[in-house]
Amino acid sequence: MPTYDVKIGNNAAKLIVAGNAFTYTREDGESIAREFSMEPAGDGTYSVLIEGRGYFVTLPPAARAPFAASREVMVNGRTLTVEVQDPRKLRGRGSSASGSGRQTIAAPMPGRVIRILVEAGQDVEAGDGLIVVEAMKMQNEMKSPKAGKILEVKTATGAAVSAGDVLLVIE
């Protein structure tokens, strides 16, 4: 199950997402667990239902990039500053910064492969789109961390993936 470090305003917490349920644990140890559903309601706008209570969430265009570290989000007309960090990505930064050697591209959370933008043997540049994974009704394009060659595509369009599943290998 993916776990994220989140900060909403000045309040830090851990967020665990598993399918259509989440657990939100504040720094003081208090925890809430809820089921939710989320549906697109327009460009950058989502209707979120958490145990019968509705929320209208709008992401400004600059905040729509997948896994943006900090973004302003409107929830029912109220603007909140939200930061989301995936601790797994922070652990890997030291080795991936060098850009040398074989690297894997892994699913950041459970979802479904919508499009594969590359094929084995293809040369790519840093920042090129590689694969699109839909998770929680949002499509996330994963980009190449470096210039190189696609060695292996380990998934297929339409495949269900779990957090951490290796999707591509680049050298």
pLDDT > 60? residue 63: no
Radius of gyration of the chain (CA): 17
Same domain assignment for residues 10 and 80? yes
Helix (H) or strand (E) holding 90: helix 87-96
Around Cβ 51, how many Cβ atoms within 10 Å?
Answer: 7
Q: Are 72 and 58 in contact (CB under 8 A)?
A: no
109 and 61, same structural domain?
no
7 and 53 inside one domain: yes
- The reply to whether 19 and 55 lie within a common domain is yes
CB neighbours of residue 98 within 10 Å: 9
* Residue that is last in its domain, among 39, 55, 85: 85
Amino acid at 14: K
Asked whether residue 12 falls in the same domain as residue 49, the answer is: yes
CATH number at residue 11: 3.30.700.30
Beta bridge partners of 139: 134
pTM: 0.49
Of 60, 85, 110, the last residue of a domain is: 85
Percent of the chain with pLDDT over 70: 85
Per-residue pLDDT tens over the stretch 115-144: 999 999 999 998 888 998 887 777 888 888
Q: Residue 110 is part of which domain span?
A: 97-170
d(CA 24, CA 5): 10
- Note whether 65 and 33 are same-domain residues: yes
- CB 143 within 8 Å of CB 128: yes
Residues 62 and 69: beta-carbon distance below 8 Å = no
The answer as to whether 91 is a domain residue is: no
Taking the CA atoms of 169, 139, 118 and 153 in sequence, report the sign of the dihedral they define: positive
* 72 and 130, same domain (yes or no): no
Does residue 56 sit in the same domain as residue 105?
no
